Amino acid sequence: MTLAVAKKISFFELAKQVLEKVGKPMTAGEIWQYAEQTSISSLLQSTGKTPEATLSTFRFAPSGGM
């Protein structure tokens, strides 16, 4: 029997998934909060202590702008 291993994602992919689901512009804090509430954050490959700060280094637009 083989166990499925969850694919780890980058901060960019995490933000992309959140913004596509929500469908509106969000701040880095809002993106991280949504990711934690929906467990998307568990897919993140990083183990840093300030993920919200890392997200804030990116500039995000609605899904049509990525």
Q: What is the pLDDT tens value at each position of the chain, 66 positions in all?
A: 566 666 899 999 999 999 999 999 999 999 999 999 999 999 998 877 888 888 888 765 555 544
- The two tokens of residue 51 are 């993920």
Name every residue whose Cβ is closer than 8 Å to that of residue 51 and which is 6 or more positions away in sequence.
11, 32, 41, 44
- pLDDT, residue 39, reads 92
- Global pTM reads 0.75
* Cβ(65)–Cβ(25) below 8 Å: no
- The two tokens of residue 13 are 């992919």
Domain locations in the chain as residue ranges: 11-41+49-60
Neighbouring CB atoms inside 10 A of 51's CB total 19
The helix, strand and coil proportions of the chain, stated in percent and rounded to the nearest 5, come to 50, 5, 45
